[in-house]
Amino acid sequence: MSLGETALSQLYYWYRDVPGSTAEIDFLLAGKNGLIPIEVKAGKTGKLRSLREFILASKGTRAMRVYSGPLRQEKVSIGQISFDLLSLPFYLLPRIKSFAD
């Protein structure tokens, strides 16, 4: 499935406005197993602070980063919480829904 009207109708974002500690997630994609936070990064690196904040708040287990690096999957730990992070290169963006499902 390409990222068409159906996928876009299930696309959201998240913003937390706490004084001194704002955070935002670029997109939330509705997958078969719940919402998946997606961060878009211009370069190959980034701290993903907002993504970590969302995972802590939602107790999620999966997240995605869209960036200019290679396709890779890794386990990220925050204290006692861990989640799977799929890093997706920009050229695979049209297939993001299939990766989410």
Q: Can you give the pLDDT at residue 10?
A: 57
Q: Can you give the pLDDT at residue 85?
A: 94
Question: In angstroms, how far apart are the furthest CA atoms of the chain?
Answer: 40
- For the chain, residues with pLDDT lower than 70 are 1-11, 44-46
For 15, the 3-state DSSP assignment is strand
Q: Can you give the pLDDT at residue 45?
A: 66
């890794």: which residue's tokens?
Answer: 74
């998240």: which residue's tokens?
Answer: 14
- Domain tally for the chain? 1
Cα–Cα distances in angstroms (integers) from residue 46 to residues 4, 6, 28, 31, in the given order: 28, 30, 19, 24
Interatomic CA distance for residues 53 and 67, integer angstroms: 19
Q: Can you give the pLDDT at residue 5?
A: 47
Q: Can you give the pLDDT at residue 55?
A: 87
Boundaries of domain holding 14: 5-100
